[in-house]
Amino acid sequence: MARRRVIRSPDDLVTERDLQSQVEAILKANGWRYFHGWSSQHSAAGYPDIVAIRPPRLCFLELKREGQKPRPEQQAWLDDINALGLDQVEDYVVYPSGIAKVQDILA
């Protein structure tokens, strides 16, 4: 079954854009290929912010500011990804305070 983790603790100062930059730097440093859509206007509602692959793993990452929860459309995508039941497919909700944990997960 896909693994879901909520990575979170208080850290209200980091914007989602800052978080995206940090996550992308971690992905690059660890040899992941990833995609982040330039604009969500032309994407399906709620589609995860980043999709990353480094065989045998495929990760879907929803980035959130501290204290925010995924919107219903976002949660529906994460639920469907999780329902695939594949060990190689992972979905995460990433918060700024969880960046050290993200580093460990994506290493």
Gyration radius from the chain CA atoms: 13
What counts of helices (H) and strands (E) characterise the chain? 3, 5
Cis peptide before 56 (omega within 30 of 0): yes
pLDDT tier at 86, thresholds 50, 70, 90: very high
Selection from 98, 79, 99 nearest residue 89 by Cα: 79
Q: Whole-model pTM? A: 0.85
pLDDT for residue 46: 92
- Please return the burial class of 52, using the count of CB atoms within 10 Å of its CB with bins 0-12, 13-18 and 19+: buried
Write down the pLDDT at residue 19: 94
Name the percent of the chain lying above pLDDT 90.
71
- pLDDT for 14 equals 80
